């Protein structure tokens, strides 16, 4: 796709993962990534900028708008937008993420297709450099992990925790989201150098991201001239290389369309048959990853830290 060099140039260069036990002992750094060494870790905004510049001359972008209705017939799809005039397309690819509205409009309600896994994630930037710029540092208590992640000179915090489901409205209100994070983390002294005032920093965060970690499962990814891609089609929870899958899925879709431009249904079927195998195999790695990253009990945590200590050997 001609983007690899740009991705490598913008990589975060955080090759290690250090575990900090509840008593403050450090395990690691463990080497992150696959033995093949072809992983690139990159900040989301950098990835978006690189992808955009790769197709800037060939694609037409509309920003600050959203799709509000889709009406298809045999020859095309009429798309209504919140702000822009209605337009007609040969094909609509819903690549609008875990809470896809294209999916909701064409394939069915979110509650039938998106399955929360009993884990939540929140992230925020810390606005200061990471104490350890070469390592992702992970602190755990039973059912909770707190990760400090160096990203190009500054630190980001990640909170992943187990909790019972909340009413959907809670996901939309940032005050509720902050309170949910503080309920899980605010009562413990985490001894994290970048988060000396955890309560104040969470309350003051202006870029908090919060969501329920979920898996998306649909019997079919295409209906007529509308297809789904990436998290909208097959979110694998965040433990399964979702960005890589979204990109390889886009490539597979593009190849199938280019090979069979006059037989849309056949091309979409080929895309799904091929890419579903890759997505499905990643979806099942979730339980193991969750048990390793967020052990639910003290015994599980101790076993995980022991396995981490043994890993380099």
Q: How far apart are CA 161 and CA 191, in angstroms?
A: 18
Report in angstroms how near the CB of residue 15 gets to ligand FAD at its nearest.
14
**Tokens found for residue 149:** 């992640």
User: Quick one: which segment of 93-101, 161-169, 257-265, 290-298 binds ligand FAD (CB under 6 A)?
Assistant: 93-101
Report in angstroms how near the CB of residue 39 gets to ligand FAD at its nearest.
9
Residue 53 or 302 with smaller CB distance to ligand FAD: 53
Query: Does residue 97 touch ligand FAD according to CB under 6 A?
Result: yes
Report in angstroms how near the CB of residue 25 gets to ligand FAD at its nearest.
26
Which residue in 8, 84, 152, 244 binds ligand FAD (CB under 6 A)? 244
Query: Does residue 150 touch ligand FAD according to CB under 6 A?
Result: no
User: Quick one: which segment of 90-98, 106-114, 169-177, 284-292 binds ligand FAD (CB under 6 A)?
Assistant: 90-98
Q: How far apart are CA 34 and CA 41, in angstroms?
A: 12
Residue 99 or 274 with smaller CB distance to ligand FAD: 99
Q: How far is CA 229 from CA 14, 154, 245, 250, in A?
A: 29, 32, 9, 7
Report in angstroms how near the CB of residue 302 gets to ligand FAD at its nearest.
26
Phi-psi group of 166: left, alpha or beta (phi > 0 → left; psi -120 to 50 → alpha; rest → beta): beta
Report in angstroms how near the CB of residue 193 gets to ligand FAD at its nearest.
22
Report in angstroms how near the CB of residue 208 gets to ligand FAD at its nearest.
11
Report in angstroms how near the CB of residue 241 gets to ligand FAD at its nearest.
4
Contact 139, 28 (CB under 8 A): no
Query: Does residue 123 touch ligand FAD according to CB under 6 A?
Result: yes
Binding pattern to ligand FAD, positions 194-233, x when CB under 6 A?
------------------------------------xxx-
User: Restricting to residues 249-308, which ones interact with ligand FAD according to CB under 6 A?
Assistant: none
Which residue in 9, 66, 90, 259 binds ligand FAD (CB under 6 A)? 66
User: Restricting to residues 13-52, which ones interact with ligand FAD according to CB under 6 A?
Assistant: none
Residue 277 or 313 with smaller CB distance to ligand FAD: 277
Enumerate binding residues for ligand FAD (CB under 6 A): 66-67, 95-97, 101, 121, 123, 230-232, 238, 241-244, 246
């Amino acid at each position: 796709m001609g983007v690899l060099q740009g991705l490598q140039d913008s990589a975060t260069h955080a090759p290690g993962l250090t575990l900090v036990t509840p008593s403050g002992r450090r395990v690691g750094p463990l080497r992150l990534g696959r033995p093949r060494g072809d992983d690139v870790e990159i900040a989301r905004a950098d990835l978006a900028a690189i992808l955009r510049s790769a197709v800037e001359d060939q694609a037409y972008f509309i920003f600050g708008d959203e799709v509000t209705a889709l009406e298809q017939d045999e020859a095309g799809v009429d798309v209504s937008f919140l702000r822009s005039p209605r337009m007609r397309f040969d094909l609509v690819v819903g690549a609008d993420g875990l809470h896809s509205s294209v999916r909701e409009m064409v394939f069915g309600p979110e509650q039938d297709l998106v399955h929360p896994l009993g884990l939540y994630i929140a992230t925020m930037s810390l606005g200061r450099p990471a104490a350890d710029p070469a390592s992702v540092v992970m602190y755990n208590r039973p059912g909770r992990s707190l990760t400090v992640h160096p990203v190009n000179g500054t630190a980001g915090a990640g909170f992943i925790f187990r909790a019972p489901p909340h009413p959907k409205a809670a996901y939309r209100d940032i005050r509720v989201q902050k309170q949910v994070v503080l309920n899980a983390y605010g009562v413990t002294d985490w001894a994290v150098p970048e988060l000396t005032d955890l309560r104040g920093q969470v309350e003051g965060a202006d870029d908090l991201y919060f969501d329920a970690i979920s898996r998306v499962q649909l019997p079919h990814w295409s209906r007529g001239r509308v297809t789904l891609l990436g998290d909208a089609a097959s979110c694998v929870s965040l433990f399964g290389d979702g960005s890589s899958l979204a990109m390889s899925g886009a490539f597979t879709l593009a190849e199938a369309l280019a090979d069979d431009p006059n037989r849309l249904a056949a091309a979409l079927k080929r895309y799904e048959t091929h890419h579903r195998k890759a997505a499905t195999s990643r979806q099942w790695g979730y339980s193991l990853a969750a048990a390793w990253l967020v052990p639910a009990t003290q015994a599980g945590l101790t076993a995980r830290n022991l396995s981490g200590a043994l890993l380099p050997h």
